[in-house]
Structure 1
Amino acid sequence: MSRRIVLSLTAAVVVLGGAGAFAFAQAGERSPSLAHSTARYAAPVGERDGSLTFTTDVTSSSGVKDVKVLAWPADSSFAERGLTAKDMATAEPATCKPLNEDTVRCTYKVAVTTTDAKASPRGAWHVAVLADAKNGTTTLNTKAADFTVA
C-alpha cells in the first residue's frame, strides 16, 4: 500500500472513532425520561384520612439523583404563567427504588385530612415531576398525571 492510502485510512479511523466517542458522550447526556405515571386520589371518609399517591418510572443512563413531586390545581396561577423548575425547588421528594440498571420506580404518597380536603379547590388537579439525573440533566413534566378532587 502506498503511504497516502495508509494515511487516509488512519485519518478516517480517527475521524470515525472521534464521531463515535462524541455520539456516545451525547447519549450519556440525555435527560431523564418518565413513564407509566399515575395519580390516585382518595378523599377522607369519616375519621379516616384520605391520600394522594403518585407513581412514575424514571429512566436515566447516568442514574437518578432526585425526583420531586408537586400536586397543583388546574385553575391555579401555574396554569396561567406555567410551572418552572424553580417552582419545584421546594416540592417534596418521592421515594425511589431500583427496577433495573437504569430505571427507578418513584412513589410519592401523602395523607389528606378532612381539613386539607375542605381547604382544597375542587376539580381537576395535575401532578408535576422534576427528575434530576446524576449527569446534571433534568426533566420537568408539569402534567405527568391528573386526578380530580370532588
Structure 2
Amino acid sequence: MPKHALVSSLIGFALVGAVTAGGIAMASDSTELALTNGSARYIAPSGDSAGSATFTADVRDDSGVRSLKVLAWPGSSKLDPTAAELRHTNDATCRSTSDDTSRCTYTLKVTKKEASRLDRGTWYVSALATAKDGDTVFVPHAATLHVND
C-alpha cells in the first residue's frame, strides 16, 4: 500500500473516531428526566387563616419540563397510586430555573373545616413528571409530610 494512501486512511479513521467519540460524549452529557429535592410541608389553619399543604421539587430534562402532577395521600389509607392514575391529578406550577430545570410547586389551601376531616399522621406525596419530549418519571413516594392538630 502506498505511503500516502496509508496516511489518508489513518486520517479518515481518526476523524471517524473523533466524530464517534464526540457523539458518545454528547449522548452521555444529555440529562434524563429526573425529579430531585422533593419536600412537603403541612401548615395547619390558625385563627381566621387557612392552612396549606405544599410540595416542591426540581424537575430536570434536556428537552425541558412539560408538567408535574401531584397527589398527596394519607399513609393510613394504604393507597398505592400508579403513574396512570396521576395523569388525572393536580398540576404543580413549574418555573424554569435553567434551560433544562424547573422548580415546581403545588400548594393546596386547607380550611379549618377541611383540616378537621384530614387523617392525622404521615402522608405521602406521589409525583409524575413529564418532559417536553414526552418522557415521564413516576416517583411513588416523592416526599413525606405530617398532618397534626
Please confirm whether the aligned pair reaches a TM-score higher than 0.5, indicating the same fold: yes
Structure 1: which amino acid aligns with 2:32? S
Contact 1:71/1:126 (8 A) holds in 2: yes
Rounded to whole Å, the distance in 2 between the matches of 1:62 and 1:27 is 13
| Number of aligned residue pairs | 146
Normalised by the length of structure 1, the TM-score is 0.82
Contact 1:31/1:133 (8 A) holds in 2: no
Please state how far the C-alpha of 1:67 moved relative to its aligned partner: 1.0
Tell me the equivalent position of 2:41: 40
Structure 2: which amino acid aligns with 1:143? H
Tell me the equivalent position of 1:118: 116
Moved more, 130-139 or 45-54: 45-54
Larger Rg: 2
Tell me the equivalent position of 1:87: 85
Structure 1 residue 14 corresponds to structure 2 residue 16: yes
Please state how far the C-alpha of 1:115 moved relative to its aligned partner: 3.1
Q: What runs of 5+ residues in structure 2 fail to find an aligned partner? A: none
Structure 1: which amino acid aligns with 2:23? A
Tell me the equivalent position of 1:76: 77
Please state how far the C-alpha of 1:20 moved relative to its aligned partner: 2.7
SS at match of 1:110: strand
Structure 2: which amino acid aligns with 1:51? S
Alpha carbons of 1:49 and 1:63: their partners in 2 closer, same or farther (altered >3 Å)? same
Tell me the equivalent position of 1:55: 56
Rounded to whole Å, the distance in 1 between the matches of 2:14 and 2:81 is 47
Rounded to whole Å, the distance in 2 between the matches of 1:105 and 1:38 is 12
Structure 1: which amino acid aligns with 2:85? D
Contact 1:54/1:107 (8 A) holds in 2: yes
Normalised by the length of structure 2, the TM-score is 0.82
Please state how far the C-alpha of 1:73 moved relative to its aligned partner: 1.4
Q: What runs of 5+ residues in structure 1 fail to find an aligned partner? A: none
What's the % identity of the aligned pairs? 39
Alpha-carbon RMSD: 2.2
Structure 1 residue 134 corresponds to structure 2 residue 132: yes
Please state how far the C-alpha of 1:47 moved relative to its aligned partner: 4.3
